[in-house]
Chains A and B, each alone.
Chain A
Amino acid sequence: MTTVAVLIDHRAGVVTRPALEALTLARSLGTPVAVWLGERPSADAAALLGDYGATEVRAVEADARLSAHAATALGAASEDADVVVVISTFVTKEIVTRLAMATGAGVVVDAAGAAMVDGRVETVQTVFAATWNVRTRIESARAIVGIRPNTTQAVPADAAAAATLVPITVELPEIRERVTHVEPGEADEGVPLAEAPVVVSGGRGTGGDYTLVTELAELLGGAVGASRDATDEGWISHEHMVGQTGTTVTPALYVAAGISGAVHHRGGMQASGTIVSINMDPDAPIFEISDFGVVGSLFDVIPQAIERIKEHRAG
């Protein structure tokens, strides 16, 4: 049976939902083993990984943010694995690039799914702002897949696996780069953008007032996004930017309020499940890709929508 090593995404020891999605995907490719970088996982965290099918949790003390260290650590913990699965982020892309250079593995990042076909991994990706679907076959014996959050539904295994903790020690390479200053981003309020099931984004049309956008996002259990123009204006911090140079999101629901839908923005959200837009300009390009478009002002439409949803919930 194929061993599939899954690099577990965790936030200060707490397993993220994308990590469980990756384990779910890994089960369809072979037998998952979890790879954990950083301080040892808690018993709860390990048990959760077992629930999603991890037969082992291989723990390596290495900083996941230093790609050369993380690649060495992941490599040591996945020597027997034919397939390595990671959640595709700017940081993991660097890790898997280095791992692939060391092992000769073939890599696909930003995949929306993967399957075993005739003994090789095949992936699906959406490209060109989600206007094309591409299937790629990894020809090499070893395969690395970077999977986008929200593209696999996380489902626990029929029976929990052992999740045996296996500590692994490895000599980390010397690195020349040094981080001289770190400023934590905004305190974690709610769901991180990339993995949110719902994203409500505001653009220039908000005029800088994110109250309504935030209220709707909270009501729908989602995260707040923004266009590049809005982050450039300093209306909202950079972490919220959706687009090809910001965060790529694929939520079940994407709401674009006061966003024109420039190709740069679309590149980061066009693969979302349902797209809703509110824009004063009937010719805004965002309408071309919207399942439900409202020509109108977000300042009229959002409060009314919020009221109606609350009414509905109240029964």
Chain B
Amino acid sequence: MGRVEAMRILVTVKHVPDLQSQRSFTDGRVTRTADDGTMNELDEHAVEAALQLVEAAGEGEVYALTVGGADAVAAVRKALQLGVQHAIHVTDEAIADSDVFGTAEVIAAAVRTVHAEAPLDLIITGMAALDGLTSMLPTALAAELDWSQATLASAVSVADGEVTVERHLADSHETLVAPLPAVVSVTDEANKPRYPNFKLIMAARKAPVTEWSLADLGVDPASVGKAGARTVVVDASPAPPRENRVKITDTGDAGTRLADFLIEKGLA
């Protein structure tokens, strides 16, 4: 292993409806309420990966960044509770209804601003936002910044100016090495996120959150949000419930009845 220097990492965290809540759409938009919104569960793994890398280096700092409406600040507050040092909330009316490319443009602009103050080594994202589940943002961000990319990491380490990740792909397992600075997305296998401790929870309440608008970042409002979106939701409706559901309790012949059900349906 080579020499490890102080690490500077930015983690992206998204505010999404809680998985356990009744998620829905209103007027083609994901319904967001302050009550059942939370930091995207998969981003906890991104925060944890960043904290562990800084701890391994012995020195460094972590920024948490979220892009979203007023209530999205809860996502960076959660990251503060977990132990990141800095929180940034990019919010602007013009951002609403952005597609992945708009979001990537805004995040890239914020990253450039932080990077200009002092260079970042890594951006770590979750593998997917659990509202849309597109998993496109990490690649879009790497392309936008022209940084190297290492996605879907189930393990991450840094040495000698390079990041090494392990990736499980559908048909293989690979090790990928990318020079810093890099955009890394981590899976939920990468680590076990820590729980916030009481001291951090108290401190997070009072910790400052930097708030930036599009003007602060020099982003043209016309290129993001609804104005810049290349796709638009034209209809969203609850899926009809499954009809004629059957539930039986095994009293000795349930296997046969199950088989008969499959045979009758032409499935066996």
Interface flag for B98 (CB, 8 Å):
no
Interface flag for B170 (CB, 8 Å):
yes
A245–B239 CA distance with the chains assembled, in angstroms: 22
Which residues of chain A are within 8 angstroms of B169 by Cβ–Cβ distance?
65, 90-91, 185
Which residues of chain B are within 8 angstroms of A89 by Cβ–Cβ distance?
170
A130-B232 contact in complex given A89-B170, A184-B172, C-beta closer than 8 Å = no
- B256 x A107 contact (CB < 8 A): no
- The majority secondary structure among interface residues of chain A is mixed
By size class, the interface of chain A is: 35 or more
Q: Which of A65, A93, A182, A308 contacts B135 (CB 8 A)?
A: A93
- B139 x A134 contact (CB < 8 A): no
Nearest CB in chain B to that of A297: its residue: B250
A-B contact count (CB 8 A): 243
Interface flag for B127 (CB, 8 Å):
yes
- B250 x A295 contact (CB < 8 A): yes
- A101 x B101 contact (CB < 8 A): yes
Shortest CB distance A144–B (Å): 10
- A176 x B148 contact (CB < 8 A): yes
Nearest CB in chain A to that of B253: its residue: A304
Interface flag for A137 (CB, 8 Å):
yes
- A90 x B24 contact (CB < 8 A): no
A238–B188 CA distance with the chains assembled, in angstroms: 12
A311–B146 CA distance with the chains assembled, in angstroms: 61
Nearest CB in chain B to that of A130: its residue: B239
A67–B169 CA distance with the chains assembled, in angstroms: 13
By size class, the interface of chain B is: 35 or more
0/1 interface trace, chain A 278-301, chain B, CB 8 Å (1 if under): 100010000101111111110011
Which residues of chain A are within 8 angstroms of B42 by Cβ–Cβ distance?
245
A90-B236 contact in complex given A132-B24, A245-B42, A309-B263, C-beta closer than 8 Å = no
Nearest CB in chain B to that of A262: its residue: B19
**Centre residue among A290, A293, A305 by max chain B CB count within 10 A:** A305
A181–B131 CA distance with the chains assembled, in angstroms: 33
Shortest CB distance B243–A (Å): 9
A131-B231 contact in complex given A93-B136, A289-B242, C-beta closer than 8 Å = no
A238-B246 contact in complex given A98-B143, A137-B234, A252-B267, C-beta closer than 8 Å = no
- A276 x B143 contact (CB < 8 A): no
A140-B230 contact in complex given A98-B139, A264-B19, A294-B248, C-beta closer than 8 Å = yes
A264–B230 CA distance with the chains assembled, in angstroms: 29
Q: State which residues 230-255 of A face B: CB under 8 Å.
A: 238-239, 244-245, 247, 252-253
- Given A122-B234, A137-B232, A267-B133, 16 more A-B residue pairs with CB atoms under 8 Å apart are A91-B170, A94-B139, A100-B101, A101-B101, A128-B131, A131-B23, A131-B239, A132-B238, A135-B234, A181-B174, A239-B171, A292-B245, A294-B254, A308-B255, A309-B262, A312-B259
